[in-house]
């Protein structure tokens, strides 16, 4: 099996929590000591983005045992951990500041949006114990997707039939984003098939996957440029057999997550016109195009289980690490 080069999916040690960590020992309340060997209970304070998910057993999908998830706030006084999703609390942080907090209960700040799309709140400093996000230096790292070793079935991958050169699916249009002027310039030199709410061409989930597969290249343009911020735009295109053309952080950051030969970065070209010329050349050279799929002989891409995976991996972290600490510099760590 070939090496993945510089690709590394290992979690970096989190160093953003500057408060001293105190080990839970005699200070643990008696009712907690009795429950330490029982299931760790995690309360989901709000459904992230209103997205409800089945609170299945964490052991089934992630081989994580001893966890129970709940959204019942009446259990607040008894649960070990509470997950707060930033988008759902950012407009009313003062409500959290007023809440009575059980001794040693851990609060987790969860955010899958980039700093550019998250309201900065200095009041969050000193309020949380753990972080959970797409960033590798989070306490609990849950990326939007990952590259994994291919099963025997996955190794039989065949490039899907193609009838489109370049595609882009966009939900929300914002002319202030870097990707919009790049798109305007790129389409002057190559045809781009556009879909999604931004273009009034909505797709069902089934149509979305079929469209991805039918395109030779997909514009995996992120809505903002931040370290480690690669979303489903990247991993879905890789999973369903198209070559992602990425606009986001530098190539070096991408290569820490995905094979170097699996994608095209806009920064590799002097201009959108030069990129368009490269895509056109690949369209005329099937052998060169297929080189972008050699990684599929040994690996495949998969997405995360949004919400559920976060809750399960947070529970696993809390079970493994009984110590208690306070995150005093969240705003500086996340927003700089």
Domain CATH code at residue 57: 3.40.50
Residues 110 and 151 occupy one common structural domain: no
Residues 263 and 290 occupy one common structural domain: yes
Condensed to tens digits (0 to 9), the pLDDT of residues 319-330 reads: 999 899 999 999
List 77, 113, 222, 256, catalytic entry: 113
pLDDT at res. 270: 98
pLDDT at res. 37: 53
Residues 157 and 280 occupy one common structural domain: yes
Instruction: Write a three-state SS string for the chain.
Output: CCCCCCCCCCCCCCCCCCCCCECCCCCCCHHHHHHCCCCEEEEECCCHHHCCCCCCCHHHHHCCCCEEEECCHHHCCCCCEEEEEHHHHCCCHHHHHHCCCCCCCEEEEEECCCHHHCCCCHHHCCCECEEEECCCCCCEECCCEEEEECCCCHHHCCCCCCCEEEEEECCCCCCCCCHHHHHHHHCCCCCEEEEEHHHCECCCHHHHHHHHHHEEEEEEECCCCCCCCCCHHHHHHHHCCCEEEEECCCHHHHCCCCCHHHCEEHHHCCCHHHHHHHHHHHHCCHHHHHHHHHHHHCEEEEECCCCHHHHHHHHHHHHHCCCECCECCHHHHHHC
Would residue 23 show up in a list of annotated catalytic residues for this protein? no
Residues 196 and 281 occupy one common structural domain: yes
Does some domain include residue 7? Answer: no
- The pairing of strands 140-141 and 145-149 is unpaired
Q: What is the domain extent for residue 270? A: 146-303
CATH number at residue 210: 3.40.50.11660
Please name the residue that has the structure tokens 């007023």: 98
Rounded Cα distance between 48 and 56, Å, is 16
pLDDT at res. 287: 98
CA distance from start to end of the chain: 40
pLDDT at res. 5: 43
Residues 123 and 167 occupy one common structural domain: no
Residues 177 and 101 occupy one common structural domain: no
Residues 197 and 266 occupy one common structural domain: yes
Residues 115 and 154 occupy one common structural domain: no
Residues 125 and 239 occupy one common structural domain: no
Does some domain include residue 299? Answer: yes
Please name the residue that has the structure tokens 């079935």: 153
Does some domain include residue 24? Answer: no
Domain count, the chain: 2
Does some domain include residue 317? Answer: yes
Residues 177 and 291 occupy one common structural domain: yes
In this prediction, the residues of the chain whose per-residue pLDDT falls under 70 are 1-37
Please name the residue that has the structure tokens 């990129």: 275
pLDDT at res. 61: 92
Does some domain include residue 110? Answer: yes
Residues 134 and 201 occupy one common structural domain: no
Does some domain include residue 123? Answer: yes
Does some domain include residue 9? Answer: no
Rounded Cα distance between 276 and 158, Å, is 25
- The pairing of strands 164-169 and 40-44 is unpaired
Rounded Cα distance between 123 and 107, Å, is 14
Q: How many CA atoms lie within 13 A of 214 on its CB side?
A: 14
Q: How many CB atoms lie within 10 A of CB 54?
A: 9
What does the CA dihedral 83, 329, 224, 13 come to, rounded to 10 degrees? -80
Residues 311 and 264 occupy one common structural domain: no
pLDDT at res. 70: 96
pLDDT at res. 184: 97
Does some domain include residue 2? Answer: no
Rounded Cα distance between 230 and 256, Å, is 11
């Amino acid at each position: 099996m070939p090496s993945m080069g510089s690709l590394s999916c290992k979690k970096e040690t989190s160093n953003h929590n500057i408060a001293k960590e105190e080990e839970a020992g005699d200070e643990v309340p008696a009712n907690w000591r009795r429950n330490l060997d029982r299931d760790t209970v995690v309360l989901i304070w709000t459904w992230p983005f209103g997205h409800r998910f089945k609170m299945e057993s964490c052991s089934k999908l992630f081989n994580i045992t001893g966890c129970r998830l709940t959204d019942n706030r009446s259990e607040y006084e008894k649960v070990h951990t509470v997950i707060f999703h930033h988008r759902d609390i950012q407009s009313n942080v003062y409500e959290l500041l007023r809440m009575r907090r059980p001794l040693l209960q851990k609060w987790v700040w969860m955010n899958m949006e980039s700093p550019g799309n998250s309201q900065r709140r200095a009041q969050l400093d000193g309020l949380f114990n753990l972080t959970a996000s797409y960033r590798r230096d989070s306490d609990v790292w849950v990326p939007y997707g990952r590259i994994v070793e291919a099963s025997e079935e996955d190794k039989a991958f065949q490039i899907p039939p193609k009838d489109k050169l370049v595609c882009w699916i966009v939900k929300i249009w914002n002319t202030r984003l870097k990707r919009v002027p790049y798109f305007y310039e790129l389409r002057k030199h190559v045809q781009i098939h556009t879909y999604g709410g931004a273009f009034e061409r909505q797709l069902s989930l089934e149509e979305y996957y079929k469209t991805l597969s039918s395109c030779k290249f997909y514009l995996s343009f992120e809505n903002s440029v931040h370290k480690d911020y690669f979303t489903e735009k990247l991993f879905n295109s890789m999973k369903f057999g198209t070559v992602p053309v990425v606009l986001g952080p530098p190539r070096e950051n991408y290569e820490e997550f995905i094979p170097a030969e699996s994608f095209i970065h806009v920064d590799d070209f002097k201009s959108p016109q030069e990129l368009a010329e490269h895509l056109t050349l690949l369209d005329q050279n099937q052998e060169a195009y297929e080189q972008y799929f050699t990684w599929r002989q040994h690996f495949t891409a998969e997405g995360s289980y949004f919400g559920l995976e976060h809750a399960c991996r947070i529970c696993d972290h809390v079970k493994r690490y009984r110590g208690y600490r306070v995150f005093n510099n969240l705003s500086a760590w996340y927003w700089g």
